[in-house]
Amino acid sequence: MAISMDDIKKLREATSARIMDCKKALEKADGDFDKAVKIVEEKGLARAEKNSDRETKEGYIASYVHNTGKVASLVEIVCETDFVAKNEEFTSMASDIAMHVTAMNPATVEELLEQEFVRDASTTIAMMIKALSGKIGEKMELRRFVRFEVGAEIAE
C-alpha cells in the first residue's frame, strides 16, 4: 500500500514522532491510522527504556494550587538538557502531575508513579513520563514532590 504525505503528516501531527518513524509505522500498519499510532507509541516507550542509563542534570519544578487555596503541591521532574526542561509538553506534563499530587495525595514517589492519572484512567503517571521520554528522546524522571494542606499535621 502506498503511503501518502498527507497520511504521514496526519500521524506526525497526532504523535509528534519523526517523519521516518511515521512513515515506517504506517507501512507496518498497512495504512491503518489507529494501528500506526499504537506502533509509534510502542516505539516511543522502547526508546525511553534505552535512555534509562543517561544522567539527568536539568529539570523543572511545577506547582499547583487548588482553587480553594488550601491544598497545593510542588513536583520536580528531571531530564537531560535545559532545552527539554523548557519544552512546553514537558512543563505541561509536570504541571499535570502536580495537579494529580494535589488531588490524590500519594505517600511516595513509587506510589505516585503507579497511580492512574486523575484525568485519564487509561494511563499511569509512569506511563505518561515514559511516553513523553520516548517521544522526545531524553531520559525523564520524577525525582520528588511535596504536598501542602492547610491544617494538616507536619511530618517530622
Whether 35 and 67 share a structural domain: no
Q: Which residue has the higher pLDDT, 63 or 154?
A: 63
> What range does the domain containing 138 cover?
58-149
Whether 64 and 37 share a structural domain: no
Give the CATH number of the domain where residue 34 resides.
1.10.8.10
Whether 86 and 119 share a structural domain: yes
Residue 71, all three cell numbers: 491544598
**Rg for the chain (alpha carbons), in Å?**
18
- Tell me: pLDDT of 25 over 80: yes
Give the CATH number of the domain where residue 88 resides.
3.30.479.20
Provide the domain count of the chain.
2
- Tell me: pLDDT of 100 over 60: yes
pTM: 0.71
Whether 32 and 62 share a structural domain: no
What is the DSSP secondary-structure string of 35-103?
HHHHHHHHHHHHHHHHTTTS---EEEEEEEE-TTSSEEEEEEEEES-HHHHT-HHHHHHHHHHHHHHHH
Whether 46 and 66 share a structural domain: no
Confidence tier at 37 by pLDDT (50, 70, 90) = confident
Confidence tier at 18 by pLDDT (50, 70, 90) = confident
**Kind and range of the H or E run holding 150:** none
Q: Which residue has the higher pLDDT, 3 or 101?
A: 101
128 domain residue, yes or no: yes
66 domain residue, yes or no: yes
- The helix-helix angle for 125-136 and 33-50 (nearest 10°) equals 90
154 domain residue, yes or no: no
Whether 12 and 32 share a structural domain: yes
Whether 62 and 136 share a structural domain: yes
- DSSP three-state, residue 1: coil
